[in-house]
Amino acid sequence: MGTFAYAALEMGAEFVQGIDTEEKTIERGEELFEQAKVAKIRYDFKVDDAFRYLENLEEGIFDTVFCLGTLYYMVEPYRLLKLMQKVAKETVLLDTFTAAYATVQGK
């Protein structure tokens, strides 16, 4: 949805790249950035598969990689972790998911 990408810009990132498999989520991110009047040269959002996208990038292309709301849905989480490690110069930031949280959210 772009909220963490926007926060990264606010904290000093020069550019953010967002990917998601759902077009609706990408559209929400683009709307947020347009409303906030973020220059288009500072971001890009793509509808894509994480594996396909990351496999085609060179090593260390990003300073930081965020993995939010994704890892626990992956059939091959270790493969995704390795790909994120490949493209990150410095940091891979992961969120976590627990059964208790799912209960609170009604899932």
Q: φ and ψ at 99, to 5 degrees?
A: -60, -35
The H or E element containing residue 56 is none
Q: What is the pLDDT of residue 71?
A: 84
Beta strand spans in the chain (E): 16-20, 43-47, 62-67, 88-94
- pLDDT at residue number 70: 85
Task: Decide if 66 contacts 35 (C-beta within 8 A).
Answer: no
pLDDT band (50, 70, 90) for residue 18 = very high
Residue 104's pLDDT is 53
Query: CA torsion, points 9, 51, 62, 26, in degrees to nearest 10?
Result: -20
What pLDDT score was predicted for residue 101?
53
The pLDDT of residue 100 is above 70: no
Residue the block writes with tokens 């496999």: 55
Q: Residue 26: pLDDT band by 50, 70, 90 thresholds? A: very high
Q: Convert the pLDDT of each residue in 48-95 to its tens digit.
A: 999 999 999 999 999 999 998 888 888 899 999 999 999 999 999 998
